[in-house]
Amino acid sequence: MLKKLSLISIACLTCASFSAIAAPKNVIYMIGDGMGPAYLAAYRYYMDNPDTKVVERTVFDDLWIGNASTYPDDDTVVTDSAAAATALSSTHKTYNGAIAVDHDHKPLTTMMEIAKAKGMQTGVVVTAQINHATPAGFLAHDKSRQNYDQIADDYIDNKVNGQIVADLMLGGGTSYFVRKDRNLVEEFKQAGYQYADSWTGLKALNKLPALGLFAPKGFVSALDNPEPLPLKQMTEKALELLSPAEKGFVVMIEGSQIDWCGHANDIACAMAEMHDFGEAIKVAKAYVDSHPDTILVVTADHETGGLSLGANGNYSWKRDVIKKVKHSGDYIAGQLLALKDDKVLYQAWLGLTGLELSADEQQLLSKARAEGQKALAVAVKQRIDHHSTTGWTSGGHTAADVPVLAYGADKQVFAGFQDNTEIAAKLIQFIQQKK
Ligand SMILES: [Zn+2]
């Protein structure tokens, strides 16, 4: 259901100042889930060339232009991804868990619905399941982010002028789309969508509308994924497919699992996700260079984990330790748990992390192994944090402001401090200006 949305209803304090600017034809909106400012600093130092005295700037630094607050519509000030996605897609604050609905569960119109009504093409690209909170906040309406099946149903049932909202969906989630009670993949095919469920299939997609589901739920973490840079690959395909759109396009591309690594307090995992997201941003930036009628905006929905570079009074953050870690903590724990004998534990540890441990630390690892996967994964990550002096204050989200990055002719509109709802309002104003 598409409500009429007038410009007056958009709470945007800084919008009036740019109403004279010509609206870009295309919008590339990228969201690093959980990507607080410390993640950008961490990635910069992680990527630093140790052979030079200066610390080189990353693509994030090159585009960084402002900050945003992320508080939800209650007094907690700490948002979840659903309320944040709603703010970033619809300009409206709501309660944690809400998928583009207000406190009375009434649908809030999203920028994808507005774009669709304007005849633009629309897409979402994620490495979580495609019906996870962030993409859901752009395409569906539900009182709870936990209603995964209903949200997936909404991707085909929620129509704008009789049309499905998204022309392109790339991500994970076959287990929600192919179910006993409903086969949404078949329904999308019948509605004319090309379908891919493999990386070869992704490459073969050659027109819209299209649906690509490459995992039962979320993807394997980028650090453990044999497929290199999955988000970058999907971003390239998405821009290739959306580019011919006569009236332009709006695409939301999410670095979904930066957040998951943050929840897991796994720094090596987080850096691998930041790398994939950064490489995807480079693809989008190059697209803006060759299509100057495009605006690229990158932000985060919230910070996750309370990441600190330097911990416990140590004035140093040792990236070389993190660079040697070959897999996520969960994966390493699984490998160590599968060993036949404790005697080869340290040898296997060295092969997976390259990190030398004291005899006491080896004992800690051995003890955790006896306790099982969960305890061992925690012990693995604690050793890496200890030696790299990485700190975390939470296994959840924090209320830290998030970075705002922009690129393209209209980028100044996003400069300075703003609320997350204002980012949506500015983008919606661009979309609304279309004839
Ligand atoms: Zn989260």
Q: Pick from 226, 200, 198: which is nearest to 213 by CA?
A: 198
Do residues 357 and 250 both lie within one domain? no
264: phi then psi, degrees, rounded to nearest 5: -80, -5
In angstroms, the Cα distances linking 136 to 127, 129, 143, 147, 388 are 13, 10, 11, 11, 36
Do residues 254 and 128 both lie within one domain? yes
> What's the domain range around 343?
309-391
Do residues 227 and 352 both lie within one domain? no
Do residues 236 and 361 both lie within one domain? no
The answer to whether the beta carbons of residues 7 and 88 sit under 8 Å apart is: no
Residue 340 lies inside a defined structural domain of this protein: yes
Residue 221 lies inside a defined structural domain of this protein: yes
Do residues 82 and 120 both lie within one domain? yes
Q: Could you read off the pLDDT of 235-263 as tens digits, one per residue?
A: 999 999 999 999 999 999 999 999 999 99
Residue 366 lies inside a defined structural domain of this protein: yes
- Mean per-residue pLDDT over the chain, rounded: 95
Number of domains in the chain: 2
Please state whether the peptide bond connecting residue 209 to the residue before it is cis, i.e. omega within 30 degrees of 0.
yes
pLDDT in tens, the chain (435 residues): 444 443 334 455 555 555 556 789 999 999 999 999 999 999 999 999 999 999 999 999 999 999 999 999 999 999 999 999 999 999 999 999 999 999 999 999 999 999 999 999 999 999 999 999 999 999 999 999 999 999 999 999 999 999 999 999 999 999 999 999 999 999 999 999 999 999 999 999 999 999 999 999 999 999 999 999 999 999 999 999 999 999 999 999 999 999 999 999 999 999 999 999 999 999 999 999 999 999 999 999 999 999 999 999 999 999 999 999 999 999 999 999 999 989 999 999 999 999 999 999 999 999 999 999 999 999 999 999 999 999 999 999 999 999 999 999 999 999 999 999 999 999 999 999 876
- Cα of 80 vs centre of ligand 1, distance in Å, is 6
Residue 217 lies inside a defined structural domain of this protein: yes
Residue 2 lies inside a defined structural domain of this protein: no
Do residues 387 and 284 both lie within one domain? no
Residue 1 lies inside a defined structural domain of this protein: no
Residue 101 lies inside a defined structural domain of this protein: yes
- Cα of 423 vs centre of ligand 1, distance in Å, is 20
Q: Looking at residue 313, which CATH number applies to its domain?
A: 1.10.60.40
Sequence-separated contacts (24+) of 77-80 with Cβ below 8 Å: 77/399, 78/302, 78/396, 78/397, 78/398, 78/399, 79/301, 79/302, 79/397, 79/399, 80/133, 80/145, 80/302, 80/397
Question: Which run of H or E residues covers position 255?
Answer: strand 249-255
For the question of whether the overall pTM of this predicted structure is more than 0.85, the answer is: yes
Position 97 scores a pLDDT of 97
Distance of CA 241 to the CA centre of its chain: 20
Do residues 375 and 399 both lie within one domain? no
- What secondary structure letter does DSSP report for 219? P
Do residues 376 and 400 both lie within one domain? no
- Cα of 136 vs centre of ligand 1, distance in Å, is 14
What secondary structure does DSSP assign to 318-349, as a single string? -HHHHHT--S-HHHHHHHHHT-S-GGGHHHHH
Position 325 scores a pLDDT of 98
Do residues 154 and 18 both lie within one domain? yes
Do residues 303 and 325 both lie within one domain? no
The answer to whether the beta carbons of residues 104 and 92 sit under 8 Å apart is: no
Do residues 123 and 214 both lie within one domain? yes
Residue 141 lies inside a defined structural domain of this protein: yes
Position 12 scores a pLDDT of 56
- Cα of 134 vs centre of ligand 1, distance in Å, is 10
Q: In the block, which residue shows the tokens 């390493």?
A: 332
The answer to whether the beta carbons of residues 400 and 36 sit under 8 Å apart is: yes
- Cα of 103 vs centre of ligand 1, distance in Å, is 21
- Cα of 305 vs centre of ligand 1, distance in Å, is 9
Question: Which run of H or E residues covers position 154?
Answer: helix 148-157
The catalytic site residues sit at: 81
The answer to whether the beta carbons of residues 294 and 250 sit under 8 Å apart is: no
Do residues 272 and 155 both lie within one domain? yes
Helix axes 267-290, 373-388, angle to 10 degrees: 70
